[in-house]
Amino acid sequence: MTALIEVHDASVRYLSTGQAALRSISLTVARGDLTLVSGPSGCGKSTLLRLLNGLIPHAYRAEVSGEVVVGGRPVAGRTIRDVSTVVGTMLQDPRKQIVGTTVAAEIAFGPENLGLPREEIRRRTTEVAGRVGITHLLDRATAGLSGGELQMVAFAGVLVMHPEIVVVDEPLANLDPAASLRLMREVRRFVDEGGAAVVVEHRVEEILKFEPAEVLYLEDGTTRYQGPVEGFLRVAPVGHVKLPFGTLVSRARELPAVPAPPRREDQGTTPRLEYRGVALGYGARTVLSGIDLALGARQRVAVLGPNGAGKSTLLRAAVLLIAASRGEVLVDGAPISERSIPSLATTFGYVFQNPGQALFSATVGQELAFGPRNLGWSPREIARESEKVLRATLLDGEKDIMDRPPRTLSFGQQRRLTVALALAMRPRTLILDEPTAGQDLHTTTEFIGHALAADSVESVYFITHDVDLALTYADRIIVVDQGRVVADASPAELARAETVWSGAGLQPTSLLRAVRDHLTDAGSIPHPFDLARSLSLLSPSSPAPQEGTTP
């Protein structure tokens, strides 16, 4: 097949940091091929995509060597506009590419800039919206969409341009499982119709269903593996990449030990956060209604549900980012209206889904000092706490981290920094909105473990689309769908709730199937590594279960 992407011995060094992001990378992607790129956070995956779409060197100042060819022509010397007619890009953070005030205007923006006739623009907009399942959003304002809804809109804006190549950065990060399946089916369809795709993703298991032709695995900006999926599953670092559960069982001897996070008893304590007949919404639009929940002061609570269901809205009420239109919200037994903003800031450490909403200072050190300084902490206290939270979020190893501008960090590093900012305020409860987006498995395991074990933190409430994360780390899972709570159960109980898994945007994973098949009681679910080890001991000679193919 004709090669649409050819990268020959490419290296990149960003001038803003002086650090090499890629070293001697080569890649060929033919028509009809889907290539998966994976690797630890900050390893150069997004930099590779910026080479392919021309953002380097036009939007990012960098020294580049080697050659990058897309659509049969070198990227060097071409304008971004020219490259964009061949390469369609969905960024890791969709807010960076959304310019239209409504969804319809956003999808139409690209074709309008190509000067296409109005009827052709309307036809393409309607067709693409139907393909990705967002027809019901066409008249909605983009400013009022959830992160996952924005991601689907951004993808529609890519497809509507009819590119030859699509490059997709972390497509599953903000999407519920059903939406992820829909998006990846469209990527596969695009490839099968003669295009080429490069998908960057940490959650390897979900991408394998769509039969990538090749896997490129990067570490520290260099190629550590390049080849077929079968070989990758044999050599991929089991503690760093989210692999199918059957692969974990077959490679159980290589699995690292994972310390169990501390569990705090919650019996008899006043709920940290309580909703009594609450309705929440924006303007005239009600998002959630009839909410009656009591979240414990010493609980780990995961919130699942489809994009736009109101998961973030639910927990924004805890820090008065949104007020109840009906009912009452209580914090530690008292109406939230009686609490001051500073007292809420030390009760709840709130981490936004989009790190850009929390980063505004010139350096990381200034970011970390901002909140504690406003609480009257001494410089010595601030320095000590800053060091501690950087270590907890695995940022302490970054060169000159305190003097780095936050925006020069990778997206995954920025997300961990916002967790560090929350921890620096010594909150009693952490509220995390999609905490693991942009994180490799090792980083997720380490920093979630540190966050759960932090001295001040008694409870953690986290919103996620990662079903396995919820099963592994939560004491309790709440599922939100169509404006209401549709499930509230322990992970083991929820794993067997067939009616919930048939709706609410959820999809069973290989870990969930293993839990159903091998755990008979409704107690806690062990860490996937521990479960895989125990199953490998039961049948050490049996081959690893084979995962499914294209849905």
- Tell me: the pLDDT tens digits for 466-508? 889 999 999 999 999 989 999 999 998 998 887 887 777 788 8
Same domain for 158 and 299? no
In this structure, are strands 326-331 and 273-282 parallel, antiparallel, or unpaired?
Answer: antiparallel
Tell me: pLDDT of 313 over 60: yes
Top pLDDT among 387 and 523 is at 387
Find the helix packing angle between 118-132 and 103-113, rounded to 10°.
130
Same domain for 110 and 189? yes
> What confidence tens digit (pLDDT) does each residue in 365-408 have?
999 999 999 889 999 999 999 999 999 888 988 778 999 999 88
Residue 170 among the catalytic residues: yes
> What confidence tens digit (pLDDT) does each residue in 265-290 have?
776 679 999 999 999 998 888 999 99
pLDDT interval class at 522 (50, 70, 90): low
Tell me: pLDDT of 124 over 50: yes
Task: Please count the structural domains in the chain.
Answer: 2
Q: In the prediction, which pLDDT does 548 show?
A: 44
Is 548 part of any domain?
no
Is 366 part of any domain?
yes
Judged by DSSP in three states, 257 sits in: coil
* CA–CA gap between residue 377 and residue 354 (Å, rounded): 27
Tell me: pLDDT of 1 over 70: no
Same domain for 228 and 349? no
Token pair of 31 as six digits? 């028509």
- Tell me how far apart the terminal alpha carbons of the chain are, to the nearest angstrom: 24
Which range, 145-154, 232-241, 354-363, 491-500, has the best average confidence (pLDDT)? Answer: 232-241
Same domain for 139 and 207? yes
Is residue 302 within a helix (H) or strand (E), and if so which, with residue range?
strand 300-304
Same domain for 397 and 503? yes
Q: pTM (2 decimals)?
A: 0.85
Range of the domain at 122: 3-237
Is 256 part of any domain?
no
* CA–CA gap between residue 114 and residue 112 (Å, rounded): 5
Phi/psi at 278 (5° precision): -85, 140
Tell me: pLDDT of 92 over 50: yes
Is 550 part of any domain?
no
Task: From residue 478, give the alpha-carbon distance in Å to each of 176, 246, 448, 457.
Answer: 14, 27, 19, 20
Catalytic-role residue among 106, 149, 164, 170: 170
State which of 212, 237, 262 marks the end of a domain: 237
Name the amino acid, one letter, at 158. V
Task: From residue 288, give the alpha-carbon distance in Å to each of 21, 311, 313.
Answer: 44, 9, 8
Tell me: pLDDT of 114 over 90: no
Tell me: pLDDT of 258 over 90: no
In whole numbers, what is the pLDDT of the chain averaged over residues? Answer: 89
State which of 237, 254, 284 marks the end of a domain: 237
Is 242 part of any domain?
no
Tell me: pLDDT of 317 over 50: yes
Token pair of 115 as six digits? 């000067």
CATH number of the domain enclosing 349 = 3.40.50.300
Tell me: pLDDT of 414 over 60: yes
Separation of CA 95 from chain center = 14
Tell me: pLDDT of 550 over 70: no
In this structure, are strands 20-30 and 34-38 parallel, antiparallel, or unpaired?
Answer: unpaired
Same domain for 283 and 232? no
Same domain for 391 and 324? yes
Same domain for 401 and 479? yes
Cα–Cα nearest to 91, from 60, 124, 126: 60
Is 348 part of any domain?
yes
Q: In the prediction, which pLDDT does 543 show?
A: 45
Phi/psi at 430 (5° precision): -95, 135
Tell me: pLDDT of 520 over 90: no
> What confidence tens digit (pLDDT) does each residue in 415-451 have?
899 999 999 999 999 999 988 877 888 888 888 888 8
State which of 216, 237, 258 marks the end of a domain: 237
Q: In the prediction, which pLDDT does 239 show?
A: 85
CA quadruple 52, 53, 54, 55: dihedral sign: negative
- DSSP secondary structure, 24-71, as one string: EEEEEEETT-EEEEE-STTSSHHHHHHHHHTHHHHTS-EEEEEEEEET
Running DSSP on this structure, what letter comes out for residue 348?
E
Task: From residue 199, give the alpha-carbon distance in Å to each of 102, 207, 272, 326, 480.
Answer: 27, 9, 41, 43, 29
